[in-house]
Amino acid sequence: MVRITLKDGSQREYPRGTTILQMVEDISGKLARKSLVARFNERLVDLGTPVNEDGRLEILTFDDEEGQEVYRHTSTHIMAQAVKRLFPDTGLAIGPPIEKGFYYDFDSSHTFTPDDFAQIEREMQRIIESDYPVVRREISREEALKLFREKGEPYKVELIEALPEGETISIYQQGEFIDLCAGPHLPSTGRVKAFKLMSLAGAYWRGDERNKMLQRIYGTSFPQKALLDDYLYKVEEAKKRDHRRLGKELDLFVVLDEGPGFPFFLPKGMIIRNELERFWREEHARAGYQEIRTPVILNRGLWERSGHWDHYRENMYFTVIDDEDYAVKPMNCPGGMLVYKQHLHSYRELPLRMAEMGLVHRHEKSGVLHGLMRVRAFTQDDAHIFMLPSQITDEIKGVIDLVNKFYALFGFSYHVELSTKPEKAMGSDEIWEKATAALQQALEEKGMNYKINEGDGAFYGPKIDFHLRDSLDRTWQCGTIQLDFQMPELFDLTYVGEDGERHRPVMIHRVIYGSIERFIGILTEHFGGAFPTWLAPVQVRIIPITERQHDYARTLEERFRAAGVRVEADLRSEKVGYKIRDGQMQRIPYLLVVGDKEVEAGTVAVRKRREGDLGPRPVEEFLAHITSEIASRAIN
């Protein structure tokens, strides 16, 4: 018998060789129907795995991230099987799950187009209805090479040859289809219920532009049609909300051929930017930060000292001044270090929090540039905190509180990821372990759930990343907290301790918006261009019905502007209906229609975005309402 400990701590015993699926069916028929994969003794395994030892068992469903990945991994095998049936000469490359979907890269003499999707989907449906068991087999390296050579799959052969000696090689089979795969997978193809092929792209084999260009087919899948329909709706909604289109329509920003990756902010876009920066400055002053500004161009020696020259040079821009090499800063931290060094600091001054809206430049390849989301010049809302080792946990918790305040303002929820030492890193394992433990302690003391990303830290220290979720259920990595023991050492930063001796401070790098440009892009799509009143470039538009009300409209405009409201009077010779529709297209929060009745009564007829006609309101009443809404930074 084997003793199985479940997630709730309860225990059960089963005969050796009982499969996990059989155990789940014994526990709950409903859970068995929802189950997709299992975690046994901290390892993800197929439900068909026989158990021959005691262990801890957790059953994962589509509600779990790993469950979704396995569901979509099996979906990509189903798609590949369908493609092989329809286009037999197609070579298989790789087919992983990705967030909200999956893809497979194919090498085919047939050029795929969206017109092929319906045919492939019909074949996928046949495979699902056949409900083939998805069977795992472990084979030797020699068997694997022989199998895929005979099947004419050179990409699989190359992957096998690249595996280290002694690596376990597994294959999965469903019907006639066999693929090289580590797994795990669903028990059978019939578990996939709702799916859709989405798009096509080119992809170099192994991401190397020297290799052959393959054809990538993207798809998605869900256990219920309603979930698929909701996802497809959000995809279409995202297209309508594309910040590049809205940025042009609403006169917020442009990216021109004269400066690819270097956005131009227009007057209305600058209003949004300035409001975000104003809020940032208010909250940072309240939290005890001092604002600084450091130069954009600094000497090469500084970047060699900081480690950027060795670890980040391919992403930097350079220039020569007075026959010496200089670099355009890709990060603000070395400048912050120089500011700290301008004075000898006492332990009584620490923590010292220095914040900077710092313009940085990074060399991004042209193919990845994307509106405001991926640019070559952007402003980081950076801050560097210098502290005693004993202050680390409290300072990290303070940054988390500030992040909470910022994201709550915009209605964002978020999840947290902790990234550890990367392969290319500075410093000893001991220092990295100490830094990582400090971040974990702060997260646990705040009671926060977090995911660990092994090897994804910055080259100088581990980090906490905040991934916010927008109104279309997409996630964006914005805020970051990085703990750094390396830079203070490299720059010989010190403070005078209680003992009168010099000691090394610890340093935190952190951002909250991340990049002002990118955050504006995210907000534009999150709100669909309908910004909260406090952020809206134009908060009120006054629409006189005829020319007789122009003087009244101008008087109102002056009065509102004096009260701090961003207002404009629409005095164009157009029909009222046209002016209202135009105001709606511009996503202006309030349209005030004024005719003879409103002039006589000293009122305005209020039309509120999304709510429509609210009827007449006394001017003072409306003005008090909107100024209160702006002052509170309400998001409606």
How is residue 150 written in tokens?
């005979």
Annotated catalytic residue, options 216, 509, 518, 566: 509
Cα gap 337→487, rounded to integer Å? 8
Verify cis geometry, omega within 30 degrees of 0, for the bond prior to 351.
yes
Annotated catalytic residue, options 84, 241, 243, 384: 384
Roughly what angle, to the nearest 10 degrees, separates helices 117-130 and 65-86? 110
- Is 570 one of the annotated active-site residues of the chain? no
DSSP string of 339-375, one letter each residue: HHTTSPEEGGG-SEEEEEEEEEE----GGG-BTTTB-
Cα gap 339→343, rounded to integer Å? 8
Cα gap 486→489, rounded to integer Å? 5
Cα gap 370→409, rounded to integer Å? 26
CA distances from 604 to 417, 440, 564, 592, 617 (A): 50, 56, 18, 6, 5
- Is 382 one of the annotated active-site residues of the chain? yes
Annotated catalytic residue, options 215, 380, 482, 486: 380
Cα gap 468→462, rounded to integer Å? 20
Beta strands in 65-191 (DSSP E): 91-92, 97-98, 101-107, 135-139, 169-174, 177-180
Q: Are 373 and 309 a contacting pair, CB within 8 Å?
A: no
How is residue 212 written in tokens?
């052959």
Cα gap 457→580, rounded to integer Å? 51
- Is 509 one of the annotated active-site residues of the chain? yes
Annotated catalytic residue, options 243, 463, 541, 566: 463
Among 389, 366, 387, which residue's Cα sits nearest to residue 376? 366
- Is 362 one of the annotated active-site residues of the chain? yes
Cα gap 527→247, rounded to integer Å? 13
Annotated catalytic residue, options 156, 362, 566, 579: 362
Annotated catalytic residue, options 185, 215, 243, 333: 333
Question: Strand 463-469's sheet: what is its strand order?
Answer: 290-291, 352-361, 377-387, 506-511, 475-484, 463-469, 413-419, 450-453
Annotated catalytic residue, options 381, 382, 470, 570: 382
Distance of CA 357 to the CA centre of its chain: 21
Q: Which residues are catalytic?
A: 333, 362, 380, 382, 384, 463, 509
